Chains A and B, each alone.
Chain A
């Protein structure tokens, strides 16, 4: 038995350490640990509730818009305010643009260096060695698109900034709607950028995914995890949130069901927090206890009715029935690409639905006391914010973020998190170069639409129909 430590796992945002035990060339046990703590929940206490939108964005610079959206939903809920149609749509345009940015940066700039050989200059040197299998032509194409993707993802951010003011950390999503109105010139500029991005997604991103999946088709067999899924849903299509582009649901033990938010709990048995962190997110508190016996991570262990769930693009596509070919490291990558295509199409429709001149924000009043819940999807999965307002100020705030689901440590019952489960069974022929481990970790990005019959596990990849 040999212990392999990867600290840090790079090419993701934040700090992740992964430790695996290998025996006979295979992973037999795994631990995932978050190694950085900032304590947002305590930072928020006592503030003007409206400020939560701007403050919580700073949880993540890669998916700030998801936090802004979750916070705004929680405040809309707590304040009892009805967001006007334009406000709903502009929020969708801001969030959708960042989904595209996030999926593209993940595939090209965060994942590809696991599979593609880059020129031997910093920052590409000293990577793990092993089975880099692409032929010269494909390798060159993907290196070229790594750089092209940097430009396209920048344009995604420019698209977001048209309505969001700036990115990262947009400023237009506020309690009650958006500060930004549906200006005609902004709509036109958004449409223009979107056309170029859509072209890249359809022509390059889809094909590059196919090429990668073909060359590494054995990754359809590994990295499975719990195969339970959770999605809170995102992109409301009507003003009452009845219909959403990405639906809410759970899939547990092979059975689909609706989301019962009361079943979400957090568990800190193996996390560096005290007992107050255990329970329902509308009641828990987060008090750091570094060095606590038996703990190994700053990440808590959220569970749904006690079950471990995977969240993210594969979970969403699976629950919606849009992609159900398999659960593996490569299926996550494919599902992400398909979702990018789905969102690209929808953004164009939403632009048409904007009504220049109509209001985008509703007035809000901060109540003396209230509670609110904001549920949305981040590129990386289900995101929930819970707020309690007292004396017109934030009394408590709790955020349960996607990577807590995916990279959670073991819970009190000893059940490992989704990523920890997915790593078991992976081949590690060379303990000094655990390539399959980093590939599988990245498949979660700890960040479609049509019909997709893309991939059958183990078989060559078929066609993408976007």
Chain B
């Protein structure tokens, strides 16, 4: 099989649902082009901070390629708390070892928000000289020598749930604590495995993908949920559901699709099984920086809400034409 051009690869990433073609992009012939340093596979360090581990669990739901294949044939997952066999000191020794051996060659993936300031010790990982080491310090240390950093999930990209409300743990996004290294944001609560693996493969094989103003790859985050939604015709015709379990546009029941930039309606989740609106539930714009504070109350119609003093969430693009019928 011949090597894929970047354009063809992007077409495969953009293909959705059952037609998703990442598998083709991750065939062995193509992998050769990686020529990564760790036994031919690019070394990856995956750190988990203020997260629920949902993004890691969601990564395991990858179908094309199967996650088992990803682990054995595609990447060399040097560090990942939920999956690695090592524990304790032998596990923590991996980080300085990778930093030294693969400087400038490894990719750092961060899941979860970072506790900062006087709350920096609210999240720690491992010990040095008998003292706990903050998660923030690990993120900075490992980012310094990474080829690129990929923040996955809305906690890591924008602060997400941990940074909501009074932000009790001083949680911040990865972009707030690192600098001087290429950064890609792949939000989602949780992430979609295609979006993470597609972004990673792009970074490895073709370099940095095209990003929007929030550093999100446009191939996945370039369109508005509301514009792709299968219930959009109902919105335009003013057919609104009055109960969630009814068939109808969910706009009046709180759907935040008009402010979410993501390809959920066409990519769908769990091997093309379903997505939020298909399960009669409102989009809560889980990929946006405003999630959850500016995208809630989740079950209340969107433009009328927003904490005092902040602009109400408004659609960037999707036109609210049928909204008031």
Q: A residues within 8 Å of B by Cβ? A: 5-15, 17, 35-39, 42-48, 50-51, 54-55, 58-62, 64, 105, 109-110, 113, 118-119, 121-128, 147, 150-151, 153-154, 157-158, 160-172, 174, 178-181, 288, 290-291, 298, 359-361, 363, 434, 438
**How far, in angstroms, from A132 to B54 measured CA to CA in the complex?**
31
Interface centre among B53, B77, B126, B280 (most CB of A within 10 A): B280
Report which of A8, A13, A37, A180 forms a contact with B53, defined as CB distance below 8 A.
Answer: A13
Chain A: CB-nearest residue to B277: A165
Residues of chain B lying within 8 A (CB to CB) of residue A166? 269-270, 273-276, 279
A36 and B82 contacting across the interface, CB-CB below 8 Å: no
Q: B residues within 8 Å of A by Cβ? A: 38-39, 43, 48-58, 60-63, 66-68, 71-72, 76-94, 115, 119, 121-127, 130, 132, 135, 160-162, 164-166, 168-169, 171, 189-190, 243-245, 269-271, 273-276, 278-281, 284, 286, 292, 296-300
Q: What are 16 sample pairs from A and B whose C-beta atoms fall under 8 A apart?
A: A6-B88, A7-B92, A36-B50, A43-B165, A51-B299, A113-B85, A123-B80, A127-B87, A164-B274, A171-B276, A179-B244, A179-B279, A179-B280, A179-B281, A288-B169, A290-B121
**How far, in angstroms, from A6 to B81 measured CA to CA in the complex?**
13
A406 → chain B closest CB, angstroms: 17
Residues of chain B lying within 8 A (CB to CB) of residue A11? 81-85, 87
Report which of B55, B77, B85, B244 forms a contact with A174, defined as CB distance below 8 A.
Answer: B244
A61 and B273 contacting across the interface, CB-CB below 8 Å: no
A127 and B60 contacting across the interface, CB-CB below 8 Å: no
**How far, in angstroms, from A119 to B132 measured CA to CA in the complex?**
31
**How far, in angstroms, from A160 to B38 measured CA to CA in the complex?**
37
Residues of chain A lying within 8 A (CB to CB) of residue B63? 154
A183 → chain B closest CB, angstroms: 10
Interface centre among A6, A17, A38 (most CB of B within 10 A): A38
10 more contacts with CB within 8 A, not counting A38-B168, A157-B61, are: A11-B87, A17-B132, A35-B125, A38-B169, A42-B168, A54-B284, A126-B94, A163-B279, A171-B281, A361-B245
B243 and A165 contacting across the interface, CB-CB below 8 Å: no
Interface centre among B71, B273, B280 (most CB of A within 10 A): B273
**How far, in angstroms, from A171 to B245 measured CA to CA in the complex?**
12
A39-B169, A54-B298, A359-B245 as given contacts; A8 in contact with B281, CB under 8 Å: no
Residues of chain B lying within 8 A (CB to CB) of residue A61? 51-58, 190
**How far, in angstroms, from A305 to B161 measured CA to CA in the complex?**
34
A171 and B169 contacting across the interface, CB-CB below 8 Å: no
A162 and B245 contacting across the interface, CB-CB below 8 Å: no
A288 and B122 contacting across the interface, CB-CB below 8 Å: yes
**How far, in angstroms, from A110 to B82 measured CA to CA in the complex?**
7
**How far, in angstroms, from A164 to B281 measured CA to CA in the complex?**
9
Report which of A45, A151, A153, A178 forms a contact with B66, defined as CB distance below 8 A.
Answer: A151
A158-B273, A172-B280 as given contacts; A125 in contact with B165, CB under 8 Å: no
Residues of chain B lying within 8 A (CB to CB) of residue A14? 53
A7-B132, A38-B50, A128-B90 as given contacts; A167 in contact with B297, CB under 8 Å: no
- Closest 8 pairs between A and B when the two form their complex, measured CB to CB: A61-B54, A165-B279, A39-B168, A166-B269, A171-B281, A48-B297, A127-B85, A161-B270
B299 and A48 contacting across the interface, CB-CB below 8 Å: yes
**How far, in angstroms, from A60 to B93 measured CA to CA in the complex?**
27
**How far, in angstroms, from A121 to B84 measured CA to CA in the complex?**
10
**How far, in angstroms, from A150 to B281 measured CA to CA in the complex?**
28
B81 and A161 contacting across the interface, CB-CB below 8 Å: no
B68 → chain A closest CB, angstroms: 4
Chain B: CB-nearest residue to A173: B281
A181 and B245 contacting across the interface, CB-CB below 8 Å: yes
Residues of chain B lying within 8 A (CB to CB) of residue A121? 39, 72, 76
Chain A: CB-nearest residue to B123: A36
**How far, in angstroms, from A424 to B53 measured CA to CA in the complex?**
29
B86 → chain A closest CB, angstroms: 4
Residues of chain A lying within 8 A (CB to CB) of residue B162? 38-39, 43
Residues of chain A lying within 8 A (CB to CB) of residue B124? 15, 35-36
A36 and B49 contacting across the interface, CB-CB below 8 Å: yes
